[in-house]
Structure 1
Amino acid sequence: MKLTRLLPALAFTVGALTTGGLLASTEHSEVRIASPWPAQNTIITMLGYGDNIVGTSMVAKQIPLFRQSLPHIVDVPPVSMSGSHEVNPEQIIALGTQLLFVAKNMSVPQPEMLAQAGVRVLAFDANSMPALTRRVQQTADALGPDAQERAQRYQRYFERNAALVRERLKDLPASARVTVYHSMGNPLTTTGRPSLNQDWMDLAGAKNVAESWFGVKKNSAGEVALERVVAANPAVIVAMNRRDADAIMASPQWASVDAVVHHRVYTNPKGMFWWCRETSEEALQFLWLAKTLYPARFADVDMVKETRDFYRDFFGLSLSDAQVAAILTPPR
C-alpha cells in the first residue's frame, strides 16, 4: 500500500493545506487512515472513507449510530493515549497508517520516525465554524476526487441551511434575540467568544449569556459559578448531555432560571457525534437551534425530515422513526 505523490513534509498547518494544491490524492481502496479526533471520524466517513479507518477514537466507537454506519469500527483500536491529547507513534506505524488526521492542539511525538515510516500527518485548526467547513474540504483534498465531490455537495447543503437561517432572521433586532446558556461536559462548563459554539449560536439568532465571560482567554471555555448562570437567567438552556439537562431540571438551585421555569431545557441532538461539536452534522445544529428558538419563523422546516434526509444523503443510512427521534432528543 502506497500513497501516490507522497510528500516528504510531515505536518501541515491550515495555511499549507490550502496553498498551491499540494495535497496528493490517494487510492481509495488502499489508503489507511487514523484519527484520534472523534468528530473527524464522522467527516472521513461522510466523505466515503470510513472503511479505510484503521485507528479511531474510543468516543466514536461508543456511539451507536457511528457503529451502525461502520460495523467494523468495533474492531478498530483507539489511537490516542490516556488523556487523548497525544498519539502513540509506534501504534500508528504498526497499524500501517498512511494518513493521520489530528487537531493542531494534539501532540504528535517523534514526527521524524512517523515521516520515515511513510505516515503523513495533517493537523487542522478547530473551534470555529469557518475552520470546520475548511476542514471538510481539506480532508477531501487529501483523499481524492471522489471525496472532493462529496465535500462540495456537503458545502452546498451547509450554505443552503445557513442562507435559510440568515434570511429568516435578518429582521430580528438584537433586543429580541433569545438568551441561551449552553452546557458541555457538565452543567457548569460553557463557552464564550470566540468558539465554535458561539458561531452556531450567532447564526441561529441566539444571545449567548456566556459570550463575554472568558474575556481574552484563547479557548473561551471553562467552568463557571452557578450564581452567574442564575443571574444571567437564560430563557433557553441547551445541555450537551441528557444527564445534565435532567440534573438542571431537577435541581432546586436552578429552579428560578427562566429556562427551567418554562421547561425550555433541551438536550443537544446527537447522531454520529454531538451536532454542536466539530462534526459534519454542524450543518443541522444551527438549523435545529433556530427552529427551537423561533418556531414561527421556521414553521415550514421539518427537522425530522431534514435529519432523515441528511443521514441518507451523506452517510447512506436509512433511519427508523425511533432512530430519528433518538437523534433529535437523545435518551442519554
Structure 2
Amino acid sequence: MFKFSKRILSAAVSAIMLTSALGGCAGTANQTSSEAVSSAQTGGTRTVTDHAGNAIELPAEVNRIVISSIMPLPSVVALFDGAAEKVVGMDPSSMAAAKNSILPNIHPEILNATTDFLKDGNLNIEEVLKLKPDVVFYSADNTADYEALTKAGIPAVGFSTSKFKFNTVETFDNWVTLLGEVLGQADTAKQIADYGYQVEDEVTSVIKAAGDSIQKPKVLILFRYDNGTIKTSGSNFFGQYWLDTTGAENVAKDLKGQAEINMEQIYQWNPDMIYITNFSPYQPDDLYNNSIEGFDWSKVKAVQDKKVYKFPLGMYRWFPPASDTPLAMKWLATKNQPELFKDVDMEKEVKEYYKRFYRYDLSDEELQQIFNPSSEASGLKK
C-alpha cells in the first residue's frame, strides 16, 4: 500500500505561494525581409542562453509571446504570474488541446491567441511579424524556425524535447527554469519543478522496494494513430521514460523515437495494456468495438481484457512534459501497478493539485473531462 507523502504537498504549497495559476512539430519556414520587432525596451536588454546553446538578446520586459513548434508550452507558460495573457500566438495543435482542456477555465485569455502564423507546421514570418512579439518560443531541434526568425530580427528562444534524454520530469524542469529566466521568475520556476522530482522519487522508490516480485505488464503506446497510420513511442522518447518509471515494459523498446508500426507487429507483441495519447482522435471504445476500418483489434490481448486507456488531458495533454506532469506519473503508476498504488485516489490527487498549484477548485464535471478527454483535443479527425 502506498500514499504520497505530506512532504510533497507541503512543497506544492510553498511553490504556489510564489506563483499564480499555472515537442512539437518541426516545419519549414517562409522567410521574409527583416524588420523591427516591437518590444518593451525600458531598462535595456538582457541575454539568456537557450537549450540550443544560442545566446539570445531579449528586452528587459517580455510582454508579447508567440509559441511556435513547442506544443505543450502554453500550459507551462501559464504557471507564471500574469504570463498567460502575454501569449499572442500558438500552434494550432496547442489551441485544439486548449479548447478541450481545463486551461481556459483558469486562464480564458489564452484562447485570444492566434494560430494564423502556422499552417501544417510551416512558419509564416510575415504573420509572425504582424503579432509584434518580444520573443518567439520554438523547438530547439527546429533549426529552420530559428534561422528564419533570427533573419527577420525576432528573438527566438529554443526549448528542447530531446536534450534531457526524454526524461519527462527533467525536461519539464529545464523548460520552467528557462522560462523563469525569460520571464524574470527563475526562483519560482525551480520550486515548481522540484515537486515533479519528489513525485518521481516516491513512485520509483515504491517500485524498487517491490523488487522482482512485481509483474510488469507489456504496454503499447499509440502515440499517433490517424489517417491509416500508427506511430508508437520507442526507446528514445517520452513513452519509454513513463513506462520504465511506473513499472511497465515497453513492447516497442527495440524501436527508436516515434516509430511507425503495423498490426502484424502488434499481433506479435500482443500487449497486455494499450495507452492512446491525445495526439490521436481514437478512444478505447474504437478499439473495443473494432470500428476502425482496416485495423482488426479483436485479436489483441489488451483489447480483449478491456485494458485500453486514453491519456488524460488537464491543462494540456498528459503524455509529453507539461504542467500536469506529476499527475501523469501518478496516474500511470496506478494503472501499471494497481496493487502497489491501490491507496492512491487519483480524483482526490487531481483536485488537490489544481487547488494548490492553480488555486482552482475543480468541479466533478471538470474532473470527468480530464479523465475522459474528447477526440477533438487531438486536432485531428477519425
Shift in CA distance, 317/23, structure 1 to aligned 2, threshold 3 Å: farther
- Mapped partners of 1:244, 1:55: distance in 2: 29
- Mapped partners of 1:79, 1:316: distance in 2: 32
* 1:72 counterpart = 2:105: no
- Mapped partners of 2:213, 2:149: distance in 1: 48
CA displacement 1:51-73 (0-9 Å, x = unmatched)? 11111222333323222232223
Deviates further, 68-77 or 97-106: 68-77
**Could you tell me which residue of structure 2 aligns to residue 101 of structure 1?**
137
Could you state the TM-score of these two structures normalised by the residue count of structure 2? Answer: 0.75
Q: For residue 53 of structure 1, what is the amino acid of its counterpart?
A: V
**Could you tell me which residue of structure 2 aligns to residue 2 of structure 1?**
41
Check whether the contact 1:25–1:143 (CA below 8 A) recurs between aligned residues: no
- Mapped partners of 2:372, 2:246: distance in 1: 19
Check whether the contact 1:192–1:212 (CA below 8 A) recurs between aligned residues: yes
**Structure 2 unmatched runs, 5+:** 1-39, 376-382
SS in 1 for 2:326: helix
Shift in CA distance, 316/96, structure 1 to aligned 2, threshold 3 Å: farther
**Could you tell me which residue of structure 1 aligns to residue 72 of structure 2?**
39
SS in 2 for 1:2: strand
**Structure 1 unmatched runs, 5+:** 215-219
- Mapped partners of 1:278, 1:93: distance in 2: 28
Name whichever structure is richer in strand by fraction: 2
- Mapped partners of 1:8, 1:330: distance in 2: 40
Deviates further, 246-255 or 93-102: 246-255
* 1:57 counterpart = 2:91: yes
Deviates further, 283-292 or 63-72: 63-72
Shift in CA distance, 310/23, structure 1 to aligned 2, threshold 3 Å: farther
**Could you tell me which residue of structure 2 aligns to residue 217 of structure 1?**
none
Larger RCO (CA within 8 A; separation ≥ 6): 2
Q: For residue 70 of structure 1, what is the amino acid of its counterpart?
A: H
Shift in CA distance, 8/285, structure 1 to aligned 2, threshold 3 Å: closer
* 1:88 counterpart = 2:148: no
**Could you tell me which residue of structure 2 aligns to residue 162 of structure 1?**
200
Instruction: Provide the alpha-carbon RMSD of the alignment.
Output: 2.6
Shift in CA distance, 299/279, structure 1 to aligned 2, threshold 3 Å: same
Check whether the contact 2:176–2:190 (CA below 8 A) recurs between aligned residues: no
- Mapped partners of 1:143, 1:163: distance in 2: 29
SS in 2 for 1:6: strand
Counterparts of 1:227-242 in structure 2 under 5 Å? Answer: 227-241=264-278
SS in 2 for 1:296: coil
**Could you tell me which residue of structure 2 aligns to residue 292 of structure 1?**
335
Check whether the contact 2:88–2:112 (CA below 8 A) recurs between aligned residues: no
Check whether the contact 1:3–1:98 (CA below 8 A) recurs between aligned residues: no
Once superposed, which parts of structure 1, at least 4 consecutive aligned residues long, lie more than 3 Å away? 11-17, 22-27, 109-114
Q: For residue 63 of structure 2, what is the amino acid of its counterpart?
A: V
TM-superposed CA distance for 1:201, in Å, is 1.4
Check whether the contact 2:66–2:135 (CA below 8 A) recurs between aligned residues: yes
- Mapped partners of 1:25, 1:121: distance in 2: 12
- Mapped partners of 2:304, 2:60: distance in 1: 55
Check whether the contact 1:3–1:31 (CA below 8 A) recurs between aligned residues: no
Shift in CA distance, 298/8, structure 1 to aligned 2, threshold 3 Å: closer
Could you state the TM-score of these two structures normalised by the residue count of structure 1? Answer: 0.85
Shift in CA distance, 24/211, structure 1 to aligned 2, threshold 3 Å: same
**Could you tell me which residue of structure 1 aligns to residue 32 of structure 2?**
none
